[in-house]
């Protein structure tokens, strides 16, 4: 049975407080730098390669908010600026800079809901194919009324994932029930972490960002092994299904709670809920990848090995 899921007011409030970082990043192409040459006092001009290798700028919260994975390859420089810097620019330069962020694919660009008046921030509104978008920066976000921030962010969150889930099967373990069909309040939890949490019952795992080798080691420690050629019709509750690319890199993982339902997380932002999804949906979404299934190892009498 499909059910609607929704973040609580407390969760949205946590998103509002965390979504716009204290550091402002503005991405420029090589040819854009001269347009702002006279405005760069007090700004760090960071070449692209250095930016994406920088230990501070690669933090998961920053990467999720600015959507590093969507930044155009044309972006050659990043302006790392004080939150008030953009407020010191002329109106024309503000509009130019904001339009550039949309063109380059930077995050922190929210669609403006129909009927929402944002006249006070007109310099940060960008029109794209008849739609209005608001380009955020820290100083603006700090001054915006809480109700407006909540409306803008809740609307944007719906673009990331479907706010529906499936009812939990009766046999769903208690630790999974606490998180199924709910939203995180922090960035970073990915599908591998969610799956290891489901396997292990270690609650703090659910909020981690887990990479492939850590994930595979976690399955090994939980006494899971590769189930060679296990047909989808024979999936058991507790099985882990992964999807891998041609290089053997895991692209997604999910935990079977039983009855063809999976505990799943689609991405690493707090806009992606932990939710119960149907097998057919997963199979369709990841159809372009090879599937590998892991199952709990069993002893000579067929009992699960716990240690």
CA separation for the pair 282, 243 (Å, rounded): 10
User: What CATH architecture is 167-296?
Assistant: Alpha-Beta Complex (3.90)
Q: Average pLDDT by consecutive 10-residue portion of the chain (307 residues)?
A: 91 93 96 94 95 94 94 97 95 95 95 79 87 93 92 90 91 94 91 97 94 97 88 88 96 96 94 95 95 82 54
pLDDT at 232: 76
**Every domain range in the chain assigned CATH 3.90.1720:** 167-296
pTM of the entire structure? Answer: 0.87
Task: Output the pLDDT for position 307.
Answer: 45
In sequence order, the β-bridge partners of residue 240 are 255, 294
Which two tokens mark 169? 């099967």
Q: What is the DSSP letter of 235?
A: -
SS3 136: coil
Reduce the DSSP state of residue 292 to 3 states and report it: strand
Cα dist from 243 to 66, 216, 246, 262, 288, whole Å: 27, 13, 10, 14, 9
pLDDT at 180: 95
Strands 125-128 vs 274-278: parallel, antiparallel or unpaired:
unpaired
């Amino acid at each position: 049975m499909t059910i609607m899921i929704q973040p609580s007011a407390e969760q949205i409030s946590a998103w509002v407080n965390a979504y716009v970082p204290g550091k402002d990043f503005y991405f420029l192409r090589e040819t854009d730098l001269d347009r702002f040459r006279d405005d760069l006092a007090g700004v760090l001009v960071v070449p692209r390669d250095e930016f994406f290798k920088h230990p501070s700028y690669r933090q998961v919260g920053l990467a999720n908010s600015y959507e590093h994975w969507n930044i155009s390859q044309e972006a050659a420089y990043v302006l790392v600026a004080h939150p008030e810097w953009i407020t010191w620019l002329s109106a024309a330069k503000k509009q130019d800079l904001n339009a550039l962020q949309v063109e380059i694919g930077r995050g922190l660009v929210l669609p403006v809901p129909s009927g929402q008046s944002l006249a006070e921030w007109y310099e940060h509104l960008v029109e794209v194919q008849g739609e209005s978008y608001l380009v955020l920066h820290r100083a603006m976000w700090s001054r915006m009324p809480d109700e407006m921030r909540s409306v803008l962010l809740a609307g944007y969150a719906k673009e990331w994932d479907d706010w529906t889930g499936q009812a939990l099967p009766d046999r769903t373990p208690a630790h999974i029930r606490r998180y199924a069909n709910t939203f995180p309040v922090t960035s970073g939890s990915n599908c591998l972490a969610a799956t290891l949490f489901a396997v292990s019952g270690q609650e703090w795992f659910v909020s981690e960002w887990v990479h492939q080798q850590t994930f595979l080691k976690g399955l090994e420690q939980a006494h899971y092994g590769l189930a060679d050629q296990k047909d989808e019709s024979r999936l058991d509750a507790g099985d882990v299904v992964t999807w891998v690319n041609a290089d053997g890199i895991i692209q997604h993982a999910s935990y079977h709670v039983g009855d063809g339902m999976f505990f799943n997380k689609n991405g690493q932002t707090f806009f992606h809920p932990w939710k119960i999804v149907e097998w057919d949906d997963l199979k369709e979404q990841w159809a372009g990848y090879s599937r590998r299934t892991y199952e709990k190892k069993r002893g000579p009498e067929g009992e699960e090995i716990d240690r």
